[in-house]
Structure 1
Amino acid sequence: METEIEIKFLFSADFEQELFNTIKSQQVISTKEQLLHNVYFDTSDRSLRKMDMGLRVRSCDNRSVQTIKTSGRVIGGLHQRPEYNEPIEGGRPELARFNSKIWPDECDIKALENELVPIFSTDFTRQTWLLEMSEATLIEVAYDRGFIEAKQDKKDICEIELELIKGDEKQLFILAEQIALLPQVRLSNVSKAQRGYMLGDQTEFVVKPLLESPLLPSMSIAQALMTNIQHGLRHIQYHENCYLESYQDAALNELVVGIKFVHQNLSLFKDHSPMLLKAPWIEGLHWLARSFSWLELHSDNQNLLNNKGYYLRKITKYKKLLKQIEQQDNSLPSQESICALLHSSRYCQFVLSLTQWLIQLEKNTFASEKSHEIKEFACQRLSEVWQSFREVLQNHGDNQLLAYQGLLEGNLLMGLSVANLFSHDDYFNFYAPWLDIKQGLKELSMIKIVDDFAEIETDKARQLDYFRWIKRKQESLSHALEQSKQQALLKESFWNEKLSD
């Protein structure tokens, strides 16, 4: 058995000469080029996928090797997964050749083998270079160009893989930092096999809401921090892939939710881990948040423009207003600029830096910390932030609530950070009215856009019409917000008196 430690990048062949120049600047021990044909097998009901296994037969230089990869993990662009390799004759897998210990006890190997069918194939040219780095470290760089094919559908492959052969893992990241400077490169948390299964099953990335972080009451605070940051990073990278395949605004919105979730966890854990705010990736996180600060305005604009301005239909002459909103929206960053950002060296370096930090955090010894302490910590922090927000609600009118929209969203994300430690029913019961308030504040921000245009409207009759509409909307919304606010303030905190559970 071997455990691969790899960093994977998606790349553009337009810039392969820059890649070659970067590699030539290193100490190259050897190089070679191969044509690889790989067929991936599973049963029709995906038995291997259900066991978190991947099986392929690779043909190269008139030899065949079957490989099975068992459950591993991906952090950012770092892939770690145990794999087993066995030479075979022909192109059909022979499962009995693998170590029997890899299979679940109840697994009938012969029956499983008889049900195997090809799911997809990959064909690519692989150029490899073996590099000698500092600290007696060897790293293999592989540059793959080709395609994935399933059911007559094809997807291109253009990837760079850095695999640690032996030595210091830090050297892997040092080399990765240089690769991250190349144009049109981004870290990949999706393997060729995952892309192949999606092609074979005709599935695609779909937008998903951020779920509760998978914390356990037995965790230490440091383990909880690591788990939450990984949870946020996965959400960011998943919706990065989703956006670049579909260009959906909803995918970009969820990517930003992931950014905010990571940022909120800085607030959650900063007092416990004072050095957290000095982590090397923090500046990149703030840059990324600033880069998407326009997205909420875009979302509000789109809501106002939907269905030919249906929301504004009771304004007598609203077509001019629609044109103004559309012009404002067209001035915001374009699809091309968003794609350029997600393929930029700066974004790639942010994800790489965060990945390396997470790996290092995991390696730190948590033995000095108490386990089972995260629940007490969560209760304390939730009490602090929600008490502060309740005071805001009680001391300010609804017309001032919009200024605290970000604070409410932060509190809701903090709830998602620790919700798994408590009763889900209690959690959802507590948050329901707060989510209603969040939706009401979203509508208030849409009304604010109309108010801004009303202020600069030179036609007095049209301006008066705008102001009347704004007043009606605000009065109606204020009543609904007040009801939700009163319900929210009466809810018992879901984290109170839970420490004995």
Structure 2
Amino acid sequence: MEIELKFLIQPDLVNKFTAALSASHFKITNTHKKQLRNGYFDTANQALRDFDMGLRIRSSEFSDGQIEAEQTVKLAGQDIGGLHRRPEFNVDLPTPVSLMADLSLFDQKIWPIGFAVSDIQAELKLLFETDFERTTWLIEMPSGTVIECVLDQGVIKSGGHQTIISEIELEFVSGQEKDLFNLAQFVSSQVDVRLGFLSKAARGYQLLTGSSLKCTELNGIELKSNIEFEPALIQAASEALKFVQHNEQVFCSSMSPKALRKVIDGWSLIIHILKLFSVTLAQSQIDQFIESFETIRQQHKWVDGFYQLNQLVSRKSPYRKEIENSEHLPELMAQYQLPEHKLMKAVGFFSTNEYNRLILNFVQWLTQKQWRNALPLNELCTLKEPLTEFSNLWLESAWQNLQVALANYKNHTDKESLVALYWPLVESILTGITVGNLYGEQSQSMHNGQLDLLVGCEEFLLLTRLEKLIVRDTEACSESNDATAIIPESENADYLSWVKGKQQSLNTALSASIGSVSQIKPFW
């Protein structure tokens, strides 16, 4: 079983990392370098990929000229926040290395049900290659735990295209697994690095297809109907963290405001999950995680205003054409484009010690089930209770809070009531995302209805944002003799009237949507 953490490091920070490692108090028992060349194999329709497997042949050339070769297959495993656990099987090969992988060299008992070895073998072909230098340090921690630390620098190549490899891997060898996190915390404290969740193989498949990561949506967590409390917490929090890290990777490679907004949504889901489960696992550590995620969410709320403006002119916006065809709105909105320096600062945040410390602590808390340490012995049985014993109460509480907000909006259809409705609606949706799938398809009707209402609420907030910009344009001109309004004073009232007309139409649609949501029958 391979257990490892991976960091991405900028090439210009490699010397700083190696110097920090050399100056550390850890006992380094072995250091060496070698050149690794790897060929990755699969069928044309990526049958191995469908089983979440990776198959490679590796040739290792050491500094003394010695050459070794092996064939490796990695089977489907578990990934929580960048901590990878995967069954790995290796077979030594003679040199020179064969140009084709041979599945028959492995013990046939390792293959999962439905894996047609002979059929897949007949269709195997080389898809992509990696070529990199690996520097290895065998580190002995003060406790006696042994961890292999490697620095890989090179390229992934496929079809004339290539992308760089610059990453640090920490692989657990023996001893106490918690020391893997201790070493990771040390690395993060010495140099700016970012937790990596994509393997070299996964990146190779992307290069092969010419695809790039896209933003993902918050979908319902696939909890089985009979799942118990503790495994449900681990699965729900892990999937929320995976959502965060996926969209974090998209943002760091594209600086897309949409991707950053998705990251913030993911933090909100993590916070909500922790609040739900903390009712039973009330302890200071959960409260600390909630506070930390709330803090970083607040630190990045500045993106909301800019994101709202982008949404107004996005491809799916019902207002895009009218805004683009207006004489002055495009120029007005152009003044409020997201500053590149703020985006760059946000990219850098994901490599800070502050953020890495939070995520590493969270992953360690999940993987080592540290909440058990704070529970009295007579309460440990709670962890084995069916989740439905709790989820019914969670859904009912969220539903009742939403009903109050819906009733308030029916009586006062104004902006303040809409804002007051927004968060109870979000919390009800997040509760449904967390546990709705326990109840099968019957949860979908409520979820869809609430999502439609949320879209309407957010559209109203977008129009409110535009209204504020128009008013601000006029006020800025009034307050300064030197300022020139983008929208002429004679046309200002027309633009505000256009916005208010859209708001009134949307209010009518929202009222109908609220009526529909109010009448949905609870499914729990």
Per the TM superposition, whether the score is higher than 0.5 is: yes
Matched with 1:247 is 255
Matched with 1:465 is 494
Matched with 1:296 is 304
Mapped pair 1:38 → 2:38: yes
Matched with 1:499 is none
Matched with 1:234 is 242
Q: Superposed, which structure 2 residues align to 1:29-178 within 5 Å?
A: 29-60=29-60, 61-89=66-94, 90-91=97-98, 92-104=100-112, 107=115, 109-178=117-186
Deviation of 1:348 after TM superposition, in Å, equals: 2.2
Mapped pair 1:346 → 2:354: yes
| 133-142 vs 403-412, greater mean Cα deviation | 403-412
Aligned 8 A contact 1:266 1:277 in 2: no
| 217-226 vs 242-251, greater mean Cα deviation | 242-251
Mapped pair 1:474 → 2:503: yes
Partner amino acid for 2:445? N
Q: 1:469 to 1:136 in 2, by over 3 A?
A: same
Mapped pair 1:398 → 2:413: yes
Unaligned runs of 5+ residues in structure 2 are 61-65, 374-378, 479-487
Matched with 1:494 is 523
Deviations 1:283-339 (A, max 9, x none): 4312321232122212221233458x9838879x96555434332334586332222
Matched with 1:8 is 6
Aligned 8 A contact 1:145 1:158 in 2: yes
Partner amino acid for 1:57? I
Deviation of 1:357 after TM superposition, in Å, equals: 1.2
Aligned 8 A contact 1:270 1:277 in 2: no
Partner amino acid for 2:508? H
Deviations 1:169-226 (A, max 9, x none): 1111111001112444101111111111221233321222111112122222222222
Mapped pair 1:369 → 2:382: yes
Q: 1:111 to 1:393 in 2, by over 3 A?
A: closer
For the residue of structure 1 that corresponds to 2:381, the secondary structure is coil
For the residue of structure 2 that corresponds to 1:329, the secondary structure is coil
State the alpha-carbon separation in 1 of the partners of residues 110 and 406 from structure 2.
57
For the residue of structure 1 that corresponds to 2:368, the secondary structure is helix
Q: 1:111 to 1:227 in 2, by over 3 A?
A: closer
State the alpha-carbon separation in 1 of the partners of residues 237 and 131 from structure 2.
36
| 196-205 vs 68-77, greater mean Cα deviation | 196-205
| 45-54 vs 57-66, greater mean Cα deviation | 45-54
Partner amino acid for 1:18? K
Q: 1:190 to 1:314 in 2, by over 3 A?
A: closer
Partner amino acid for 2:421? Y
Q: 1:311 to 1:240 in 2, by over 3 A?
A: same
Aligned 8 A contact 1:226 1:362 in 2: no
Matched with 2:512 is 483
For the residue of structure 2 that corresponds to 1:284, the secondary structure is helix
Aligned 8 A contact 2:406 2:421 in 1: no
Q: Superposed, which structure 2 residues align to 1:422-461 within 5 Å?
A: 422-424=439-441, 426-456=442-472, 457=474, 458=478, 461=490
For the residue of structure 1 that corresponds to 2:219, the secondary structure is coil
| 328-337 vs 80-89, greater mean Cα deviation | 328-337
Matched with 1:498 is none
Deviations 1:437-491 (A, max 9, x none): 2122112212222332454424764443344234322321221111111111111
State the alpha-carbon separation in 2 of the partners of residues 367 and 323 from structure 1.
61
Q: CA RMSD in A?
A: 2.7
Q: 1:394 to 1:363 in 2, by over 3 A?
A: closer
For the residue of structure 2 that corresponds to 1:145, the secondary structure is strand
Aligned 8 A contact 1:134 1:171 in 2: no
How many equivalent residue pairs?
A: 491
Deviations 1:53-112 (A, max 9, x none): 211111123221111111211111211111111112232333222112112466554443
Partner amino acid for 2:503? Q
For the residue of structure 1 that corresponds to 2:319, the secondary structure is helix
Partner amino acid for 2:505? S
Unaligned runs of 5+ residues in structure 1 are 496-501
| 473-482 vs 430-439, greater mean Cα deviation | 430-439
Q: 1:489 to 1:80 in 2, by over 3 A?
A: same
Mapped pair 1:411 → 2:440: no
The percentage of aligned residue pairs carrying the same residue is 29
